[in-house]
Amino acid sequence: MLSWLLKLPPFDYRAPESLEEGLGLLAAGDGDARVLAGGQSLIPMMALRLARPSLLIDLRRVGGLAGIRVDAAGMQIGALTTQLVAERHPAVRASSPLLLEALEFIGHPAICSRGTVGGSLCHADPAAELPAVALVLEAELTARSLRRGERTIAAQDFFLGPFTTALEFDEVVTGVGLPAPPQPRGSCFLEVSRRPGDFAMVGVAASVVRNGDRVLDLRLALSGVGDRPRLFALDELELDAQAAPESLFKVAGRSVGSRLRPHEDLHASAAYRKHLATVLTERALRKAYARAPIPGGAAGA
């Protein structure tokens, strides 16, 4: 009866051979064209009539937009690198435990083998894992357009609202940079969903810097609690860095919960989301603290 709703609306399709050709098509689309990076989010939205672009520009034939490399400045991830490739990549496993842990929560292998890192960030789903991780890791996204050339957008400036980013209509994200942290950090990613692979009701990405038994710094980002991922830092939560860690993490959880105004839907009430945010924040910080290297001593567990 409703099967017609699952058929895609009419659109033109182009698969350019170069980035410049793709950027030209995007600019000519004048805001009515969309880039197809993996299609695991965009195609379902089109099937449900939540997106109706007149032109899809498939970048899979464009070279140089996939791959991962690490240097002294940090990690560079090509926008078309699939989530499955990123999860299995030795550099990610060795250099970015927070990203690795978050990738393990995303969808199922069939989805992750097509979905891309850049596509997930540009889709900007408020419940997605990678935007929260990008905030905690202070990621920088490189965007290109024919008119403005290349620019860098900090993750904290990139996510503007539900499925809305700072990208102009003629821009394409070509890569994601994860700067090397100035201090060694412990990290943790946790989320709660109805079933494995479902969108999270609440997700928490956390990182902690410690010195002995004291917390020097922490960063938190939560997904599923608003119109975009929400970033918190030590000073914003008004925490006493001299407090014992267990006390500090409990206060942090309550402080985060008090600052949220989550939405309510069929999956969870606003009150339950606030409860999850409070509990997961405390748990994620505790795990990140335990994993954090101790200067002059052994690394945390």
User: How do beta strands 159-161 and 149-154 pair?
Assistant: unpaired
Q: For 5-45, what is each residue's pLDDT tens digit?
A: 568 899 999 999 999 999 999 999 999 999 999 988 899 99
229 and 268 fall within a common domain: yes
User: What does the pLDDT read at residue 296?
Assistant: 62
255 and 156 fall within a common domain: no
Q: What is the C-alpha separation between 67 and 296, in angstroms, rounded?
A: 35
Please give the tally of structural domains in the chain.
3
For residue 114, what is the domain's CATH number? 3.30.465.10
Query: Looking at beta carbons, which pairs linking 250-257 to residues 24 or more positions away fall under 8 Å?
Result: 250/282, 252/218, 252/220, 252/281, 252/282, 252/285, 253/277, 253/278, 253/279, 253/281, 253/282, 253/285, 254/278, 256/220, 256/222, 256/232, 256/281, 257/281
Between residues 281 and 195, which one has the greater pLDDT?
A: 281
169 and 77 fall within a common domain: yes
For residue 30, what is the domain's CATH number? 3.30.43.10
Is residue 66's pLDDT more than 70?
yes
Q: Which residues pair with 231 in a beta bridge?
A: 221
User: What does the pLDDT read at residue 266?
Assistant: 86
User: What does the pLDDT read at residue 5?
Assistant: 55
Q: What is the C-alpha separation between 222 and 228, in angstroms, rounded?
A: 9
Is residue 109's pLDDT more than 80?
yes
User: What does the pLDDT read at residue 294?
Assistant: 86
Q: What global pTM score does this model have?
A: 0.94
User: What does the pLDDT read at residue 107?
Assistant: 83
Establish if 2 belongs to a structural domain.
no
pLDDT category at 2 given cuts 50, 70, 90 is very low
User: What does the pLDDT read at residue 300?
Assistant: 41
Is residue 77's pLDDT more than 60?
yes
Establish if 300 belongs to a structural domain.
no
Q: For 136-146, what is each residue's pLDDT tens digit?
A: 999 999 999 99
105 lies in which domain range? 68-179
Mean pLDDT score of the chain: 93
Which class for 108: exposed (0-12), middle (13-18), buried (19 or more C-beta within 10 A)?
exposed
Residues ≥6 apart with Cβ < 8 Å to 281: 204, 206, 220, 222, 249, 252, 253, 256, 257
